[in-house]
């Protein structure tokens, strides 16, 4: 069983939003100095899903794969400390600020090069751009079956069984291997790296590849990137018009609120 | 056979539930009609496998042409069945835009179609505008704190659109064409083997009044308190992400970026801080009432009315006041 987990490095989504600056000129989000860069939480849960499969089967090779800058080594080290066996960083100036479509292209080439992959796992979306495109893109570019929004992933004899989150419940699917599965937050919390695994992680292989190493040409990246153009990036303006309803006790507050709601014809 | 009469401006992928066209699909048709004018083309809708009588509904709400694809077995979404069918339809109709709802169906389907059609996709759009023949899609990102507007150099521009963007408008007198599209029965590589419904009864997305709880409820029993208010108001109970992840309520109650998008007339946010990723799912509610112990909580910047205090006292007080009001107003 060979599992590849795609992980992305993003600015810590739990940090205060004031730690990010939106540069409307360059249409980029600029993290403040000192803002921690972390693995996208949905990807962390994808690593967790891979580890649970290995725990259940007793054996599986898990490779963490990332397209990102040199600093993204840290999220791969985190994946290794969680329990992944090895890691690959695709680092290339041509892939800087890659669009979701471009990242999917690079990830699919890197996966194809790893050879004989049984299962590709990724977060349902990255918690920075919130797009949710890369997983589907990898499946389409590799012509693998795809199951999105998994809350449970089990590998059976020749297929993967997935519980997929729906609007009013969930459905169970079985997909032929090799397959791509994207993991949703309903999977549950990812494990924290143990001291033992963190020590071991230092000795696990982390390989760096350029675009040309994975057979990806600069023109291909440029063509894919050009499909979608970011025209504008801005922070929405909020109008503060909240009326705070006070009162001597909760019954007085409730009475005033109900009066207001009736005036607004909401009750 | 697919006729090529008239340029297709927008292709809307219809979704049905229990045999009926979903409200979000009708909103998409309203949006498509708005865009069809400046794009100088027709509005087409794709109805996969579903009841052909729904085609009349799609026409009444704005479709000039409805493509009824495949047989009845295909009604329930399966990516491996829908994607090739709709890929072929998109190739033959070459629309400028292909719109899906931002639902578990649309969010699975849209990116796959975009890659097959060698185009790109904008996910979770909250605004779609046409300017000088070009389409602009605006979507929230960075947990709902930032807005990104994108355009496409390739065609079709594929997008998933959230609830509350388009306005449905029915006209029973509208005329349209219904085109049957035969499809080879396909065996999917990913097969649905079971489906489990966890939330019976009223759907959160259709509720006029939603009472949502967050981390501030401090436990599952908090939702029982919210249910008392929901009962007297005839509303539905929802949640921010934290209670779902902690198992205080079913995951299907989640409202926000990774959950549902709701657009009720009245939204109670109880013990919810008001983080961007939650507001991405309820920001289009007409009126938000915030109940929170922390007067500095971000939710008070989003709400129309705010009550500072303990929900364990305020919510039951509201419930009994509403019940009393009902008694007084009922004959």
pLDDT band at B257 (very low <50, low <70, confident <90, very high): confident
Does residue B205 or residue A224 have the better pLDDT? A224
Contact status of B27 with chain A (Cβ, < 8 Å):
no
Q: For tokens 């507007």, what's the residue?
A: B149
Scanning every residue of chain B, which has its alpha carbon at the shortest distance from the alpha carbon of A190?
A: B245
- Residue B199 confidence (pLDDT) above 70: no
Q: Is the pLDDT of residue B4 over 50?
A: no
Q: How many CB pairs under 8 A join A and B?
A: 237
Q: Which residue on chain B is closest to A131 by alpha carbon?
A: B123
Which residue is associated with the tokens 């779609």? B128
Residue A187 CA: distances (Å) to CA of A42, A154, A194, B84:
9, 12, 20, 29
Distances (CA, A) of B50 to A45, B44, B55: 36, 16, 9
Question: B188 with B80: CB under 8 angstroms?
Answer: yes
* Confidence label for B283 from pLDDT (cuts 50, 70 and 90): confident
Decide if B145 and A234 are in contact by the 8 Å CB cutoff: no
Interchain proximity B251–A231, CB inside 8 Å: no
Q: Is the CB of B124 less than 8 angstroms away from the CB of A130?
A: yes
Interhelix angle B311-329/A250-263, rounded to 10 degrees, is 50
SS percent in chain B: helix, strand, coil, step 5: 35, 30, 35
The pair of structure tokens assigned to B31 is 């949006």
CA angle B53, B46, B252 (to 5 degrees): 90
Rounded distance between C-alpha atoms, residue B100 and residue B242, angstroms:
28
> Which helix or strand (DSSP H or E) is residue B291 part of?
strand B287-292
Q: How many CB atoms lie within 10 A of CB A4?
A: 25
Cβ of B168: how many Cβ atoms within 10 Å? 17
Q: How confident is the model at residue B92 (pLDDT cuts 50, 70, 90)?
A: very high
Interface residue of A105, A228, A251, A259 to substitute, partner B, most B CBs within 10 Å? A228
Q: Rounded to whole angstroms, what are the CA distances from A81 to A2, A77, A203, A238, B47?
A: 18, 6, 10, 41, 48
List B209's β-bridge partners, or say none. Answer: B266
In this complex, do B203 and A167 lie within 8 Å of one another by their Cβ atoms? yes
- Give me the percent of chain B exceeding a pLDDT of 70: 97
Rounded to the nearest angstrom, the gap between the alpha carbon of residue A71 and the centroid of all alpha carbons in its chain is 17
Between helices A134-142 and B106-116, what is the axis angle to 10°? 50
* Tally of CB atoms within 10 A around B248: 20
pLDDT at B1 over 70: no
> From the candidates B189, B298, B303, which should be mutated to test the interface with A, based on the most A CB atoms within 10 A?
B189
Backbone phi, then psi, for B172, in 5-degree steps? -60, -20
Mean pLDDT by 10 residues, chain A (267 residues): 97 88 95 93 97 96 98 97 98 95 98 96 96 98 98 95 92 97 93 94 97 97 97 87 94 96 91
Nearest to B146 among A231, A235, A243 (CB): A235
**Cβ(B125)–Cβ(B103) under 8 Å?**
no
Per-residue pLDDT tens over the stretch B46-91: 999 867 789 999 999 999 999 999 887 888 899 999 999 999 999 9
Which of these, B3, B28, B17, B1, lies nearest to B100 by C-alpha position?
A: B28
CB atoms A166 and B104 under 8 Å: yes
Contacts of B197 in chain A (CB under 8 A): 168-169
pLDDT in tens, B123-134: 999 999 999 889
Is a pLDDT exceeding 80 seen at residue B201?
no
Does position B20 have pLDDT exceeding 60, yes or no? Answer: yes
Question: Considering CB atoms only, which of B79, B138, B241 is closest to A185?
Answer: B241
Beta strands in A137-223 (DSSP E): 146-155, 159-165, 169-176, 179-183, 206-209
Per CB-CB distance under 8 Å, the chain A contacts of B262 are: none
Query: What is the Cα–Cα distance from A47 to A132, expressed in whole angstroms?
Result: 17
Interface test with A, best of B232, B233, B258, B276 (most A CBs within 10 A): B258
The pairing of strands A28-31 and A20-23 is antiparallel
Q: Are A9 and A77 in contact (CB under 8 A)?
A: no
Query: In the predicted model, is pLDDT for residue B160 greater than 50?
Result: yes
- The answer to whether the bond into A10 is cis (omega within 30° of 0) is no
Residue B224 CB partners (closer than 8 Å, separation 6+):
none
For the whole model, what pTM was predicted?
Answer: 0.91
For B317, the closest of A148, A172, A251 (CB atoms) is A251
Q: Does an H or E element contain B137, and which?
A: strand B134-141
Q: Which element (helix H / strand E) includes A200?
A: helix A195-201
Here the ipTM equals 0.94
- Indicate the residue of B108, B143, B146 with minimum beta-carbon distance to A233: B146
DSSP codes of every residue in A40-97: -HHHHHHHHHHHHHHHHHS--EEEEEEES-GGGHHHHHHHHHHT-SEEEEE--GGGTT
And the tokens for A67? 């397209």
Query: Mutate which of B134, B146, B203, B283 to test chain A, going by most A C-beta atoms within 10 A?
Result: B146
Contact A230 B149 (CB under 8 A): yes
CB contact residues (below 8 A), chain A span 34-93, against chain B: none
| CB neighbours of residue B129 within 10 Å | 13
B151: β partners: A229
Calpha distance B159→B124 (Å, rounded): 7
Tokens of B76: 């329930």
Q: Which residue has the higher pLDDT, B97 or B285?
A: B97
Measured CA to CA, the distance from residue A242 to residue B299 in angstroms comes to: 10
């Amino acid at each position: 069983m060979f599992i590849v987990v795609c992980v992305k490095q993003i600015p810590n989504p739990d940090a205060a939003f004031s730690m990010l600056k939106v540069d409307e000129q360059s249409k980029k989000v600029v993290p403040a100095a000192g803002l921690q860069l972390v693995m996208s939480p949905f990807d962390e849960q994808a690593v967790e899903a891979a580890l649970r499969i290995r725990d259940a089967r007793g054996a599986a090779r898990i490779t963490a794969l990332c397209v990102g800058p040199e600093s993204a080594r840290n999220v791969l080290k985190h994946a290794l400390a969680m329990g992944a066996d090895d890691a690959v960083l695709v680092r290339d100036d041509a892939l800087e600020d890659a669009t979701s479509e471009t990242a999917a292209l690079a990830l699919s080439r890197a996966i194809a090069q790893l050879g004989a992959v049984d299962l590709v796992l990724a977060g349902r979306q990255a918690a920075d751009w919130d797009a949710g495109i890369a997983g589907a893109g990898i499946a389409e570019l590799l012509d693998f079956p795809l199951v999105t929004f998994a809350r449970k992933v089990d590998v059976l004899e020749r297929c993967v069984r997935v519980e997929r989150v729906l609007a009013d419940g969930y459905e169970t699917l079985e997909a032929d291997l090799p397959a791509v599965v994207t993991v949703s937050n309903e999977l549950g919390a990812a494990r924290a790296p143990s001291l033992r695994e963190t020590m071991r992680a230092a000795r696990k292989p982390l390989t760096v590849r350029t675009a040309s190493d994975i057979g990806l040409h600069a023109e291909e990246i440029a063509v894919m990137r050009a499909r979608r153009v970011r025209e504008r990036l801005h922070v929405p303006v909020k109008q503060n018009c909240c009326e705070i309803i006070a009162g001597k006790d909760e019954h007085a507050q409730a009475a005033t609120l109900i009066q207001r709601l009736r005036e607004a014809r909401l009750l | 056979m697919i006729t090529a009469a008239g340029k297709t401006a927008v292709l809307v992928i219809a979704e049905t539930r229990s045999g009926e066209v979903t409200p979000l699909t009708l909103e998409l048709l309203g949006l498509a009609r708005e865009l069809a004018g400046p794009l100088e083309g027709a509005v087409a809708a794709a109805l996969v496998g579903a009841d052909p009588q729904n085609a009349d509904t799609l026409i009444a709400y704005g479709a000039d042409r409805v493509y009824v694809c495949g047989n009845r077995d295909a009604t329930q979404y399966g990516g491996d069945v829908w994607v090739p069918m709709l890929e072929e339809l998109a190739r033959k109709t070459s629309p400028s835009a292909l719109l899906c709802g931002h639902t578990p169906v649309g969010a699975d389907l849209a990116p796959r179609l975009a890659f097959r059609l060698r185009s790109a996709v904008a996910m979770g759009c909250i605004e779609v505008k046409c300017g000088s023949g070009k389409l602009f899609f605006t979507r929230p990102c960075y947990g709902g704190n930032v807005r990104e507007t994108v355009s496409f150099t390739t065609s079709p521009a594929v997008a998933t659109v959230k609830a509350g963007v388009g306005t449905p408008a029915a006209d029973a007198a509208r005329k349209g064409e219904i085109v049957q599209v035969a499809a080879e029965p396909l065996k999917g590589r990913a097969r649905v083997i079971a489906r489990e419904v966890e939330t019976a009864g009223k759907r959160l997305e259709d509720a006029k009044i939603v009472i949502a709880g967050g981390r501030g409820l401090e436990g599952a029993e908090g939702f029982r308190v919210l249910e008392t208010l929901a009962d007297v108001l005839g509303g539905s109970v929802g949640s921010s992400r934290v209670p779902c992840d902690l198992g205080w309520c079913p995951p299907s109650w989640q409202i926000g970026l990774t959950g549902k998008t709701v657009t009720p007339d009245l939204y109670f946010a109880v013990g919810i801080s008001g983080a961007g990723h939650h507001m991405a799912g309820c920001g289009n509610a007409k009126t938000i009432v915030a109940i929170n112990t922390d007067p500095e909580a971000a939710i008070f910047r989003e709400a129309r009315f705010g009550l500072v205090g303990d929900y364990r006292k305020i919510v039951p007080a509201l419930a009994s006041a509403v019940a009393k009001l009902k008694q007084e107003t009922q004959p």
